[in-house]
Structure 1
Amino acid sequence: MLTSLFSNPTRSFLTIAVTAFALTACGQGEQQNTDQAGQSSNGSDSQAQNAGEKYSRGQIRIVGSSTVYPFSSYVAEEMGATTDLRTPVVESTGSGGGFKLFCSGVSEDTPDFTNASRPMKASELKMCQDNGVDDITQIMVGYDGIVIGQKAGEPALDLSREQLTKAVAAQVPQDGQLVDNPYAKWSDIDPSLPDHEILVYGPPTSSGTRDAFEELVIEHGAEHIDGYNGEKPSIRQDGKFVPSGENDNLIVQKLAQNANAIGIFGYSFLEENRNKIQAAKVDGVEPKRELISSGEYPISRSLFFYTKNAHVGRIDGMEQYVDLFLSDQMASDRGALKSLGLISLPPEELEGMREKWKNRDKVTAESLKSEHG
């Protein structure tokens, strides 16, 4: 089964996407009254779980990060092909969009899992708790690097985080004050850079990739560029930075058609499209597996999914899905997901994630503080 799925991963992901569209179109309004009645008066997960009734949906629903989407989709399709359970529906909504859906309540018309390319924020945990979603387990599944991509075969770029910040920031320091970004070409930033128009295809505001890029590149750049004085610049909106939706494959297609553009996306999309695109160095470091997992590549991050434990037992297959995702068959350095670009956890960390799931370790404000440093 693994071999057959790898033979045409594009077809596999298309199957999942079509299924997700059909389910979304058919099910937006169904069961709302029943779901509300099935919850306790205060909406708490523990009381909802104690009610014990099965949801009629009968199929796992997963939302969230476009970066985690290929891995989650593969696990979902493998589960559907090798068990009697229905194939889970996986939707690419972005990390932020996924948390909004996931945290909207405990009911049949809310997701069971959300994928994320960054840790949950304290504000998102509060949103969950305010809506009765207070029994959540966080699972880290591996590492990823944010790639600065360009068309394959072009002279390879080597960009510093300071140069990237000057290219995409809405305002930059000049003559002792912050002004609207005047840089139109890369050579305006540094004469050693190409004399090309700045055009950056990047993720939208709902994306965890954008959150991580802003933190790891723009915040870092602002700290090392004189004149920002502790301010974090926003991203420019004058057409030089183009938000390109949650489908990173669209960015790959645009780069393949434009030799002067660069794009921002996860490492897995580089792995899948090396015949079309290549990666720029960042601060002199290439995005290689070993350099991402060690943190030497400066735009490295962790990948997660979050489980709504009040739905366990109400939706068939949740436990089997997590167990399969965390299995050596999938998530280890010898697993199937490596071929899709996942940079696996060390064995002891992977085993630690299995223990977290076994114990249903609960996300708290304190645990999130440690995630965010």
Structure 2
Amino acid sequence: MKFAKLTASTLAIAAVSATAAAARDEIRIVGSSTVFPYTQAVAEQFSSVTGAASPIVESTGTGGGMKIFCGGIGEGHPDITGASRAMKKSEFDLCVENGVVDITEVQIGNDGLSIAMSRSNEFDWDLTLTEVYMALAAEVPVDGQMVANPYTMWNEINPDLPEVEILAYGPPPTSGTRDAFVELAMVAGCEEIPYIHDMGSDWAEEHCARMRQDGPFVEAGENDNLIVQRLNADANAMGIFGYSFLYENLDTLKSVHVDGVEPSPETIATGDYPISRPLFFYVKNAHRGVIPNLQDFVEEYVSEEAMGPGGYLSERGLVPLQDEPRAMVQDAAMDGVSFTAE
């Protein structure tokens, strides 16, 4: 990323360019279903403390949120989008094409991608990344050849696993959670197979990234609460979602360990849990000073009371940044530092 601090004159010009946005009183936010509960918590706290109109927060998925956010400037376009991955260059280019040229990237913390099951399942699940890949990929290596995934039972992949059908509910392609899971679990698990590792990362990214579509993996939409409901209805089903949804449902769900590591705030912060990722929101700087209370809302979001250690977002499962990077993020968010995706 390239960063540049906005000058007062730049902000003034941006504000003038967004005068049409002044017709809207509520802050409008779109984006990631994973970031949604954190943003919703900040919106509720902000409205309670200030008495201002509560921001409108929509869960559209990371990819869908980027398209909406980058659609333009003015009252018809959102002010902020949440993201469970960094903005892609193609998305940034779309923003620029539509006049959204000054954007601030804010990393709110870190998250683990949990694989979870109902507590009524009695087996102590611990999967390697390769086993996750072999269960859920569209194509897998069999006798040195990439073929359509033939596995329908977990014990076919590893005889030490239960003789139950493979069934996992996960996010759709528009989700940043899907993007992160493909990169951190599927491709990484594929690359751990020795002869594929020798073929290189580019080959693995091309041949190992597709999720299977023949039944064992089910796209469950952007509402992670629906996945939780399905897991509680089927003891053998697995669900893939952000750690916060596991954290909030530990009374009924348990984690599947990955490479021997349980997801927790500690293992996610250290990177010991292998399926970990940063979480973001992006602010449209042209709307600062024009949409009422937008700057104040950003200040609340990056406050120590929200995203700091022991803050109310950590109580919902967010893993806070370390002190120094968190201070840098807080300053950049408040000063309107712009970035360029590369």
Q: In structure 2, what is the Cα distance between the partners aligned to 1:359 and 1:132? A: 21
Aligned to 1:296: 272
Aligned to 2:153: 185
Q: In structure 2, what is the Cα distance between the partners aligned to 1:49 and 1:349? A: 29
Relative distance call for 1:52 and 1:162 in structure 2 (3 A) is closer
Q: How big is the shift at 1:222? A: 1.7
What TM-score do the two structures reach when normalised by structure 1?
0.84
- Runs of 5+ consecutive residues of structure 1 not aligned to the other structure: 1-43, 367-373
Q: In structure 2, what is the Cα distance between the partners aligned to 1:365 and 1:335? A: 30
Q: How does 1:9-48 map to 2 (within 5 A)?
A: none
Q: In structure 1, what is the Cα distance between the partners aligned to 2:299 and 2:284? A: 15
Q: In structure 1, what is the Cα distance between the partners aligned to 2:144 and 2:266? A: 41
Aligned to 1:176: 144
Aligned to 2:190: 222
Q: How does 1:346-357 map to 2 (within 5 A)?
A: 346-357=322-333
* Cα offsets for 1:216-259 (capped at 9, x unmatched): 01111121225654233211100110010111111111111111
Give 3-state SS (helix, strand or coil) of 2:22's partner.
coil
Q: Does 1:133 align with 2:100?
A: yes
Q: Which amino acid aligns with 2:285?
A: N
Aligned to 1:257: 233
Q: How big is the shift at 1:175? A: 2.2
Q: Which amino acid aligns with 1:316?
A: P
Q: Quick one: which of 281, 285, 289 aligns to 2:257?
A: 281
Q: Which amino acid aligns with 2:244?
A: S
Q: How big is the shift at 1:291? A: 0.7
- Number of corresponding residues: 323
Q: Quick one: which of 320, 332, 341 aligns to 2:317?
A: 341
Q: In structure 2, what is the Cα distance between the partners aligned to 1:51 and 1:195? A: 62
Q: How big is the shift at 1:203? A: 0.6
Q: Which amino acid aligns with 1:302?
A: P
Higher relative contact order (CA 8 A, sep 6+): 2
Aligned to 2:55: 88
Aligned to 1:363: 339
Q: CA RMSD in A?
A: 1.6
Q: How big is the shift at 1:313? A: 1.5
Q: In structure 2, what is the Cα distance between the partners aligned to 1:48 and 1:346? A: 32
After alignment, is 302-311 or 332-341 more displaced?
332-341
Q: Which amino acid aligns with 2:129?
A: R
8 Å contact 1:45–1:132 — kept in the other structure? Answer: no
Q: Does 1:321 align with 2:305?
A: no
Relative distance call for 1:238 and 1:45 in structure 2 (3 A) is farther
Aligned to 2:16: 50
Q: Which amino acid aligns with 2:162?
A: P
Aligned to 2:5: none
Q: How big is the shift at 1:177? A: 1.5
Q: Does 1:158 align with 2:126?
A: yes
Q: Which amino acid aligns with 2:170?
A: G
8 Å contact 2:18–2:73 — kept in the other structure? Answer: no
Give 3-state SS (helix, strand or coil) of 2:283's partner.
strand
Q: State the 4+ residue runs in structure 1 displaced beyond 6 angstroms.
A: none
8 Å contact 1:62–1:91 — kept in the other structure? Answer: yes
Q: In structure 2, what is the Cα distance between the partners aligned to 1:345 and 1:109? A: 33
Aligned to 2:3: none
Relative distance call for 1:45 and 1:196 in structure 2 (3 A) is farther
Relative distance call for 1:323 and 1:189 in structure 2 (3 A) is same
Aligned to 2:82: 115
Q: In structure 2, what is the Cα distance between the partners aligned to 1:144 and 1:114? A: 17
Q: In structure 1, what is the Cα distance between the partners aligned to 2:18 and 2:95? A: 21
* Cα offsets for 1:36-86 (capped at 9, x unmatched): xxxxxxxx9985533463521110000001111111001101111111321
Q: Does 1:309 align with 2:285?
A: yes
